[in-house]
Amino acid sequence: MKTVNFTLLFVLLVTCVFAQSGKVLDNLSLPSKLLKSERKFAIYLPPDYGTSERSYPVLYLLHGSGDDHTGWVQFGEVLNITDKAIRDGLATPMIIVMPDADTGRRGYFNDVKGDWPYEDFFFQELMPFVEKKYRIKTDKRYRAVAGLSMGGGGSFMYALHHPELFSSACPLSASTGPITLEDARKI
């Protein structure tokens, strides 16, 4: 009887350990003095975040045009895909920050008129906020940026504008904006 109980307890323990899931918080916000508004973001925390004291690498994951900070959560299945990659040993446990760049004004860049400094917000307010609030490794080698479409353009330009901050960038189908000055004037 003791062997059966021990075996059952062992199987339950192993199942619990391997069934751990990360956590996504998708309705977070921070006040922005630069943008004069509350700015939303979502965050993925790895399965062992609540039980460990360690710090984690960070990926800033930027959404595409017409989406918001929940796009990677709802449609990109960031929780399932990241949990599986970590469980399978294909990715290291990490924190993923997904900011909202589509509330009122769209885009990851500072407006040329000077009245919407989103890029300044990202580097001066968002990054310091999340890197202070969560256990994030702040060395360049532990920080990456990626994005799709509009977010791909953002990740491409952020890596170019701040090579001292990112070890890796992954612009996916990057929208880079107008090609010529004439195209820019039309917009």
- Stretch 99-106: mean pLDDT, rounded? 82
| Whether pLDDT at 133 is above 50 | yes
Average pLDDT over residues 16-32: 84
User: Strand 105-106 to strand 102-103: parallel, antiparallel, or no bridges (unpaired)?
Assistant: antiparallel
Please check the confidence at residue 13 and state whether its pLDDT lies above 80.
Answer: no
Distance, CA of 56 to CA of 58 (rounded, Å) = 6
Return the structure tokens found at 136: 């994030």
**What's the confidence (pLDDT) of residue 15?**
45
pLDDT at 10 over 80: no
The whole-angstrom separation of Cα 102 and Cα 68 is 6
Q: Which CATH fold topology does 21-186 show?
A: Rossmann fold (3.40.50)
pLDDT of residue 11: 46
User: Quick one: pLDDT at residue 96?
Assistant: 98
Q: Is the pLDDT of residue 12 over 50?
A: no
Please report, rounded to a whole number, the percentage of residues in the chain having pLDDT higher than 70: 84
pLDDT-derived band at 106, boundaries 50, 70, 90: confident
Mean pLDDT on 120-130? 97
Task: Please check whether residue 145 is in contact with residue 155, taking contact to mean a CB–CB distance below 8 angstroms.
Answer: yes
Question: In terms of Cα–Cα distance, which of 101, 89, 83, 91 is closest to 44?
Answer: 83
Quote the distance between the C-alpha of residue 125 and its chain's center: 15
Q: What angle do CA 40, 137, 167 make, to 5 degrees?
A: 90
83 pLDDT band, cuts 50/70/90, is very high
* pLDDT tens digits for range 135-171: 999 999 999 999 999 988 999 999 999 999 999 999 9
Asked if pLDDT for residue 17 goes beyond 70, the answer is no
List beta partners, residue 84.
Answer: none
71 token code pair: 């796009």
Say whether pLDDT at 180 is over 80: no
pLDDT of residue 57: 98
- The residue type found at 118 is Y
Residue 44, beta-bridge partner list: 24, 96
The strand pair at 105-106 and 95-99 is best described as unpaired
pTM given for the model: 0.85
